A and B are shown apart, each in its own frame.
Chain A
Amino acid sequence: MTAKLILSLDGTLIQEYLLSKEHTTIGRKAHNDIVIDNLAVSSEHAAVVTILHDSFLEDLNSTNGLTVNGVSTRKHFLQNNDLIEIGKYQLRYLNDQVSKTNAADFEKTMIMRAPVLAVQPPADKPGDTGVFHTADLQAGKPAATPEVEINPVKPVLSAAAQPAPPAVQRAAIQLLNGPNAGKELELVKGLTTLGKPGVQVVVLTRRPHGFFITHVEGANFPSVNGQLMDGKPLQLNDHDLIELAGVKMEFYLKG
C-alpha cells in the first residue's frame, strides 16, 4: 500500500524503506531517515516528500547531485519503478498503489480542508501542522504540501491512472465521386466531423465496439446503403456506402 524505496549497491539489496512519513531525508549523516555512509553522498543529500499517494524527490543542494533513470535532476515527481542513483548507490521507487486498488474506489472525490477554511484556531507552533511553503521545499526544510493542510476525511483508496486504451480497429472513408474522388480520410480521432458547424454536420464516432455515424444538424440527412438515416446514431459495417448531399463515400475497416 505504502510506497517504498529499495536501497541497493551494485545490485545487492541493502534495505527497504517505507515512505510512511511526509518527509523522508536521504544523506550521509546519521540523523537522516535513509543513511548512506559514503563520502560521495552529502550530509543531507536529498529528500522525498510524500503527499498521500504521490512522492516527490528533491535534491537538497548536494555536492554530487543525483539522477533519476539516468537523467540528472533536481526535482522529480516519482513514478512507480523509477531508479534514483546517488553516487554508486541505487534507490528503486516502488508504488503499486494502482494495481491494488479496487475499481469501485476509483475517483471518489474527497475533501481536504485548506487552512483558510479552518474554523478552529490555527496551531501555534510551526511544524505542528502539515503546512509548508514551496520555498521551504527548495531550501530543504521539513515540508509537506504546498500551502495546504492535509487532513483527509477518510483514507484515500483511489488512483487515477488512465486505463490502457483498448485496441481499436482502424477504419477510413473514401470519397467515391466529385472532384476529390479517391481521396481517403482515416478515422484516427474519436470523433470525425463531416461538414461545417452551423450549416450541415455529420459526425463519425469511434467507440470501443465500433464506428458510428450520427446526423448532428442541417437539412440533409445522410443515407447508409440507400437507407435514409433518422436522428439516431447508426453503427457502420465494413464497405457501407454513405451518401450525404450528393457525395458518396465508402466506409471500410483497415488492417
Chain B
Amino acid sequence: MKLEDALEIVAQTHSGMVRAHNEDSIATDAACGLVVLADGMGGYNAGEVASGIAVSVMVTEVAPPLKESSPIRRDEASGEELAVVLLNNSIHRANESIYQASQSQAQYAGMGTTVVAALFYDNRVAVGHVGDSRLYRLRGETLEPITRDHSLLQEQIDSGVISIEQARHSQNRNLVTRAVGIDAEVIPEIHVHDVQPGDIYLLCSDGLNDMVEDDDIRSIVYAMQGNLALAAEQLIQTANDNGGRDNVSVILVKVKQSFAQPRSFLARLLNWLKK
C-alpha cells in the first residue's frame, strides 16, 4: 500500500486574532509520509524566518533519501532505522541552518523555533519534537498527547511544584526549555509509535492547545473525523473564537489503511514494477 493512499493529510495555519504576523510554518509531503510544523520566535519577521527554515530544511533532508532507500533499513553506525536517523539528522540540520543565519545577520539574532514532525512508515510513526508544539493521537474515542512539551510549565508539573489544574492559571506557559536554532547544538526528542488504521494524528502549535481545552479538541476531531478539512477549520475557528491570541496551526493525518513496508524480494519487485 502506497503511503499517499494510506494517509489523508490536511494542514492549515492562521495568524490568529491578535498577531499581525504568522510565525508558524507547516509542510507536508504525502509521498514520503512526512508532516512538519514549526512555531517560530524572534523579533520582527525572524520568527517566520526560523520556522520557515526549519520546515524546508527538514523536508529536503528527509524526503529525497526515502525515494532511494527503505525507511526500515538499519543504519550501520547507529543501528537505528533510516526513518529515525533521517528525522533526527534533519532537526540537527535545521538547527545548524537557523543558528548560522542568526549568527551572521543581526536582525535574526536570537531567533529560534519549536518543531514537531511525524514521519509515517511501515505501520509506525517516528515523532520528533523540540519545544512546546504538540502531537496528539485520536484512537477510538480517546485523544492522547503523544509528545511532552519542553517547557518550564511541564517541568514544574513533572517535579510536582504545581498541579495540572494550577498549570492552567500559570503565567509562565509560554516559556520553552528547548528550541531549534538558539544554540549550536539541539537535542531532539524522538520516539517511534505503532500506528493503527483509523488513528488520527493532530500536530498543532500552542496557539491551539492554549486556547482550546484538550476535551474540546477531542470532541471536534472525533465528531469531524469524516471530514478532516472541516475539522482543521473548526479547530482554528474555535481557537480564534476563544480569543485567538497566538498564531494557530494544525496538521491532521488520518490513517485510512495499514501501510506495511514490503519486505520480501517478491514484494519489493512488485513494488518496483508498480512505479
- Which residues of chain A come closer than 8 Å to B110, judged between CB atoms? 111, 153
User: From B160, which residue of chain A is reached at the shortest CB distance?
Assistant: A134
Asked whether any CB of chain B lies closer than 8 Å to the CB of A117, the reply is: yes
User: From A114, which residue of chain B is reached at the shortest CB distance?
Assistant: B177
Which listed residue (B152, B227, B242) contacts A216, Cβ 8 A? B227
Known contacts A52-B172, A54-B171, A108-B174; A117 and B185 CB within 8 A of each other: yes
- Which residues of chain B come closer than 8 Å to A176, judged between CB atoms? none
Q: Are B224 and A163 in contact (CB under 8 A)?
A: no
Asked whether any CB of chain A lies closer than 8 Å to the CB of B207, the reply is: yes
Asked whether any CB of chain A lies closer than 8 Å to the CB of B96, the reply is: no
Asked whether any CB of chain B lies closer than 8 Å to the CB of A70, the reply is: no
Known contacts A104-B18, A107-B207, A207-B241; A158 and B171 CB within 8 A of each other: yes
- Within A195-218, the residues touching B (CB, 8 Å) are 197-198, 201, 203, 205, 207-208, 214, 216-218
- Which residues of chain A come closer than 8 Å to B112, judged between CB atoms? 111
- Which residues of chain B come closer than 8 Å to A117, judged between CB atoms? 178, 183, 185-187
Interface bin, chain A: 35 or more
Q: Are B243 and A110 in contact (CB under 8 A)?
A: no
Nearest CB on B from A148, distance (A): 6
Which listed residue (B159, B169, B222, B243) contacts A134, Cβ 8 A? B159
Complexed CA–CA distance, A254 and B172 (Å): 39
User: From A98, which residue of chain B is reached at the shortest CB distance?
Assistant: B171
- Within B217-264, the residues touching A (CB, 8 Å) are 219-220, 222-227, 230, 234, 237-238, 241-243, 245-246
Which listed residue (A56, A97, A158, A162) contacts B161, Cβ 8 A? A56
Asked whether any CB of chain A lies closer than 8 Å to the CB of B216, the reply is: yes
Q: Are B187 and A54 in contact (CB under 8 A)?
A: no
Asked whether any CB of chain A lies closer than 8 Å to the CB of B170, the reply is: yes
Asked whether any CB of chain A lies closer than 8 Å to the CB of B190, the reply is: no
Asked whether any CB of chain A lies closer than 8 Å to the CB of B199, the reply is: no
Stretch at the interface among A17-25, A186-194, A241-249: A186-194
- Which residues of chain B come closer than 8 Å to A201, judged between CB atoms? 223-224, 226-227
Q: Are A107 and B245 in contact (CB under 8 A)?
A: yes
Q: Are B183 and A108 in contact (CB under 8 A)?
A: no
Asked whether any CB of chain A lies closer than 8 Å to the CB of B48, the reply is: no
Complexed CA–CA distance, A142 and B67 (Å): 56
Besides A160-B210, A197-B223, 8 more A-B contacts (Cβ < 8 Å) are A103-B18, A118-B183, A146-B158, A148-B177, A189-B219, A193-B219, A193-B223, A216-B227
Q: Which residues of B contact A (CB under 8 A)?
A: 18-19, 39, 41, 110, 112, 114, 131-132, 150, 152, 155-156, 158-162, 166, 168-179, 182-187, 206-207, 210, 216, 219-220, 222-227, 230, 234, 237-238, 241-243, 245-246
